Amino acid sequence: MKVLVTGGGGFLGEAIVDQLLARGDEVRSLARGDYPNLRAKGVEVMRGDLADAEVVSAAVEGCEEVYHVAARAGVWGPYEAYYQANVVGTENIIAACRAHNIPRLIFTSSPSVVYGDAPLEGVDESVPYPASYLTAYPETKAMAEKAVLAANSDALKTVSLRPHLIWGPGDNHLVPRIIDRARRGKLKRVGDGKALVDSVYVEDAARAHLLAAEALATHGKPAGKPYFITQDEPVAVGELIDKILVSGGLEPLKAQVPAGVAYAVGWAMETAYKALGKREEPLMTRFLAKQLSTAHYFDISAAREDFGYVPQRTIDEGMVELGAWIRKAGI
């Protein structure tokens, strides 16, 4: 098939691209930046903003399947920037899929769409969206997910996947940030570090997307539904961070800050940054403090039953590969 992957140069996006190429698909990528590494793989690279409907329409035209992976991520920033990228961009993707008779749209969401500030312990997809959010990213991703699921029809089958804390070789976000902050002495355990959290290895997260798309094309069971995607191996958040640090050749964390103090610091820093008009991300935010101190792990039985998703690696197996990549990349 000819397939469009938005954000094909990103961490998850490129993993999806590689798996599509491996099965013989012709792949086009749409992203704001230029990615010569994708061109070297034979990918058609298009540059543009998701908020530009004409650019999105041109990217979708001629394709048979769309993986909408691109998004503005992060825990800080102006609401409008998140809204344009995540909501308007997704609305443009949906409109273009309809205009060009695309039969399947696979959307990359996040478990953050159902996270307010309370723990999520072994919940499944029946858990409701919260009444409010602590930051713009989960709020706008929730709006985008709702639009994608509402767009499901016989003509355009849609599905929303919620991979949680994606990590692995090639990570340009989570792992480098953890290692950099630890090296600078800016990383502390929030609370006791015992809250259980889920994560997912990047190759498994990508494979889940292809499995969901295949199920849409055959029996259609995932159509119009969201799915949590994890390694199905909840671990204490402190343990997960320590595993990443050890993979990077660093010592496990010893410094600790009470969860309530971290939340108060996050609130104070957000207030100060807004007052000063700062655009860079604060060292701590309310959302980050909650994510690091409350449980959030999920029941993935629906993904297993509806499209056969089963993680192919354990966390420890993935950490071996991550460590090798960190050493090779010089992170």
pTM given for the model: 0.95
- What is the number of other CB atoms lying within 10 angstroms of the CB of residue 10? 24
Question: Which single residue is written with the structure tokens 């309809």?
Answer: 98
Beta strands in 57-202 (DSSP E): 65-68, 104-108, 120-123, 157-163, 166-167, 189-190, 196-197, 200-201
Residue 194 forms part of a structural domain: no
Q: What total number of domains does the chain contain? A: 1
The DSSP 8-state label assigned to residue 86 in this structure reads I
Residue 317 forms part of a structural domain: no
Residue 189 forms part of a structural domain: no
Residue 307 forms part of a structural domain: yes
Residue 29 forms part of a structural domain: yes
To which H or E segment does residue 179 belong?
Answer: helix 174-183
Start-to-end C-alpha separation, the chain: 36
Residue 121 forms part of a structural domain: yes
Token output for 185: 């002495």
Q: pLDDT 10s per residue in the chain (331 long)?
A: 999 999 999 999 999 999 999 999 999 999 999 999 999 999 999 999 999 999 999 999 999 999 999 999 988 889 999 999 999 999 999 999 999 999 999 999 999 999 988 899 999 999 999 999 989 999 999 999 999 999 999 999 999 999 999 999 999 888 998 999 999 998 999 999 999 999 999 999 999 999 999 999 999 999 999 999 999 999 999 999 999 999 999 999 998 999 999 999 999 999 999 888 888 888 899 998 998 999 999 999 999 999 999 999 999 999 999 999 999 988 8
Token output for 59: 């990217």
Q: Which residues are catalytic?
A: 137
Q: Vertex 158, ends 48 and 223: CA angle to 5°?
A: 165
Residue 96 forms part of a structural domain: yes
CA distance 205 to 214: 15
Residue 260 forms part of a structural domain: no
User: What CATH number has the domain bearing residue 51?
Assistant: 3.40.50.720
Rounded to whole angstroms, the maximal C-alpha distance in the chain is: 55
CA distance 45 to 263: 42
The domain of 129 spans 2-166+200-230+299-312
Token output for 215: 């199920």
